[in-house]
Amino acid sequence: MKKILTVILCMTLSFSIFAQEAKDKHLAKLPAVDIQTLDGTVFNTKDIQNDGKPVIISLWATWCKPCIAELLAIADEYEDWVEETGVKLYAISIDDAKTSARVAPFVKGKGWEYTVLLDVNSDFKRAMNVNDVPYMCILNGDGEIVWQHTSYAPGSEEEVYEIIKSLVKK
Amino acid sequence: MISTSIKRLLLASTLLLGSVWAFGQHQIGNGRISGDFGFNGMYYIPDSIIGAEPVDSKVRGNAFLNILYSNGGFSAGARYEFYMFPLIDFEKIGYQGQGIKYFFADYTNKFISVTAGNYYEQFGNGLTLRAYEDRQLGIDNSLLGARIKLTPYKGIHIKAVWGIERDNFNPYLGREDYVRGADAEFSFGEIFPVIQEKGFIARVGANIVSKFEKSSTDILFDIQDDSLGTVTGVIPQDKVPQNVATWAARATFGYKDFRLDAEYARKMNDPNITNSFIYKPGEALFLSATYAMKGFGIAASFIRADNMEYRSQRWMNQNSELMINCIPAINRQYSYQLIGDYSYASQPNSQIGAQLQINYQIPKKSVLGGKYGTDITFNYSRFHDIDKQPVPEAVENGTMTGTMGYTSSFFKFGPNLLYQDVGLEISHRFNNKKWKWILAYNYITYNLEILQGHAGMMRGHLVASDLSYKITPKHALRLELQHLYTKDDDGSSVYAMLEYSISPNWFFSIGDDWNYGNPDPAHKTHYYNIACAYVWNTTRIALNFGKTKEGILCVGGVCRAVPASYGLGLSVTTSF
């Protein structure tokens, strides 16, 4: 038992060193998956872009309280963020058939200015290897994923903004 | 036994987690490897008061690893699951075993997408086909086979599927059932851009799904005969339909902020254990209308489902096992601790009901709205069973089995109320943005007999308060208080939970659900829970210790039983 564990540990350590190297060289881009716009038109995730400016992607659902808390917190600052950095936030809902019809009224009711998309079959969620929502990632101007995070604690939106500002400065 | 389970769990988890690091976002040529890992384990302590029974291995856990390779339009992936000693609720629903039960290869370009292996798919609203997974509930109804998706012209989408549905960890080999189907959708706004430019949405779609299951035995049942007493009735093997087809048609129309969705589905004769082997066709209607403008949204929906439980095998009636379609539960879903047990579960064989939700934001910078606005949500939903009048032959036989079953007046509500919810939620942030308060009231009526199998109705008033306070930009406190007042079922409860978070990494919480109104004094129990979690990018490690009440767990109107438990839990998820 101990031997097996030691072998595995050594293997993983050596692999992870290689993995780290690879990570630095190539930043991952978004997978190309068909999802929908709010009016039900098919939308491919490779078309998520913002003319060379950073993009925030949030995976959320109308039944997910921390997701909503996070999007609400950003909504307060969003106008300023856009003005200063030109950032664009895509709020991709993983609500399925039961609740997806309620996404549009929900979003409008909250007065959110985000670009809202629907991933009703969780295809994008799977392709992004996301276990649970809330999930957020940031893309740089070249569409590369520079930061990822799951769950939400009040205040973490500050970190998001710092990263976006640093991307724009570059 | 105990040590074997611990050893094997440890070994499996280490191996899986090890490979996470090993594969960690590798770049191979132009391809990329990514994946995710999850472990959910628990050390169980028996507790006779809450009904947490001693379990044969005290340490249990679920573990899985997803690996995904993608290179341009090509992708391939596999999931290894280790559920040899699963959490007891998974063992109860038969989700136990290990192996690679999900693997696929997929090629996609602008016009065509071809998948071989396992895949998830949904036609329309899922009334005829919904192959999906819900890891929390232990549902994985993926199809193993092939799928083709075509986009011959912008706005025209055609899909065709063939596959054998996954049945937990049972082998595919030797299965005598499979599912096939095709769906077409025309999005007129994309085909004729002028429609879209004028602010209209117009889309129609239709599909047909068919399941094959070999019929190899006669079905025997009891008939009450006036002179002979109980005699045995027979549905001969060759009278049991081997092919059961369903079809559905749907349409969406919209203009600017208004939208209407409708779908109707019909199922051919499908005698199975859940409908007492009747030959009546099934049908379902789903309607939804929404209107939304800035600061205001309204959504109304209606559903009627009659004999629409559709599974790969006619003798299957366990939870969501082998379910081909999914009749949505359209009620509003809540995450309040005290009413979790009274969440409505969709009844595909008999339900009619409606749901209305109104969102309104009292404008920002107004007297009542304050600087950040006040959000108000009103909700009403009501569901009944459907009207059923047994056919004369069923009355004569004393059983519906083998007959056309019953007739049903389409829009008539049946005699039994299943669920009703009247709710109001107000959410407000105070001017310095440090305080946020959500206050909610719900009056819930829940049919215990039909939805949970024990007698009576539960009528309860819930008041819930959720107060957040941001101490500093990174430190925050959240206090949840709830009170459920009811004279029914287990009686009234109060709940309090305090959460402290240090952004972005740490979460601590302590909570207690006290069932003070339980009619049995010995069961006025405190279900306490202490938890802490550490989050670092996409990795989350959480520990919790406490008691869980026996009840049901529902995710989106699909529910399963949760046994009472007491113990120490550990959960780890990561992606790379």
Indicate yes or no: CB of B294 within 8 angstroms of CB of A111.
yes
- Chain A positions in Cβ-Cβ contact with residue B433 (cut-off 8 Å): 76
Task: Please tell me the predicted confidence (pLDDT) of residue B119.
Answer: 97
Indicate yes or no: CB of B506 within 8 angstroms of CB of A153.
yes
Do B303 and B328 form a contact (C-beta atoms < 8 A)? Answer: yes
Say if B25 is an interface residue toward chain A (CB within 8 Å).
yes
Tell me which of 1.10.443.10, 2.130.10.10, 2.40.360.20, 3.40.30.10 is the CATH number of domain A28-169.
3.40.30.10
E strands of B363-505, at which residues? 374-386, 389-390, 406-407, 413-429, 435-447, 457-470, 475-486, 493-502
Which one has a higher pLDDT value, B367 or A14?
Answer: B367
Nearest to B22 among A16, A97, A135 (CB): A16
DSSP 3-state of B5: helix
Q: How many CB pairs under 8 A join A and B?
A: 221
Distance from CA of A151 to the nearest CA of B (A): 8
Q: Render pLDDT for B396-411 as a digit per residue (tens, 0 to 9).
A: 999 999 999 999 999 9
User: How do strand B374-386 and strand B350-362 relate by DSSP bridges?
Assistant: antiparallel
Task: Please tell me the predicted confidence (pLDDT) of residue A17.
Answer: 43
pLDDT above 70 for A25: no
The CA-CA-CA angle for residues B144, B125, B418, to 5°, reads: 110
Distance of CA B163 to CAs B73, B149, B160, B209, B245, Å? 23, 15, 10, 11, 15
Output the CA torsion sign for A32, A35, A38, A41.
positive
**CA-based nearest residue in chain A for residue B190:** A41
Indicate yes or no: CB of A102 within 8 angstroms of CB of B473.
no
Indicate yes or no: CB of A105 within 8 angstroms of CB of B122.
no
pLDDT above 90 for A106: no
In chain B, which residues have pLDDT < 70? 1-3, 5, 19-28, 431, 556-557
Task: Please tell me the predicted confidence (pLDDT) of residue A14.
Answer: 45
Residues B452, B446: Cα–Cα separation, whole Å: 10
Residues B303, B495: Cα–Cα separation, whole Å: 33
Task: Please tell me the predicted confidence (pLDDT) of residue B1.
Answer: 46
Task: Please tell me the predicted confidence (pLDDT) of residue A170.
Answer: 67
Nearest to B296 among A11, A41, A109 (CB): A109
Nearest to B474 among A39, A126, A155 (CB): A155
DSSP 3-state of A98: coil
Indicate yes or no: CB of B21 within 8 angstroms of CB of A23.
no
In this structure, which long-range contacts are made by residues A7-12, counting pairs with CB atoms below 8 Å and at least 24 apart in sequence?
A8/B14, A8/B15, A8/B18, A9/B18, A11/B18, A11/B22, A12/B17, A12/B18, A12/B19, A12/B21, A12/B22
Task: Please tell me the predicted confidence (pLDDT) of residue B434.
Answer: 86
Nearest to B122 among A12, A109, A121 (CB): A121
pLDDT above 70 for A5: no
Q: Helices A103-110 and A65-85, interaxial angle, to 10°? A: 60
| Cβ-Cβ contacts under 8 Å for A167 (sequence gap 6 or more) | A54, A85, A138, A140, A141, A146
Indicate yes or no: CB of A131 within 8 angstroms of CB of B132.
no
Burial of A103 (0-12, 13-18, 19+ CB in 10 A): buried
Q: Helices B2-23 and A2-25, interaxial angle, to 10°? A: 20
**CA-based nearest residue in chain A for residue B157:** A42
Indicate yes or no: CB of A159 within 8 angstroms of CB of B357.
no
- Chain B positions in Cβ-Cβ contact with residue A110 (cut-off 8 Å): 359, 361, 375
Nearest to A11 among B18, B24, B504 (CB): B18
Task: Please tell me the predicted confidence (pLDDT) of residue A82.
Answer: 95
pLDDT tier at A41, thresholds 50, 70, 90: confident
Indicate yes or no: CB of B32 within 8 angstroms of CB of A98.
no
Question: Which residue ranges make up each domain of chain A?
Answer: 28-169
The mean per-residue pLDDT over the stretch A85-99 comes to 90
Q: Render pLDDT for B326-343 as a digit per residue (tens, 0 to 9).
A: 999 899 888 888 988 899
Residues B433, B446: Cα–Cα separation, whole Å: 38
pLDDT above 50 for A8: no
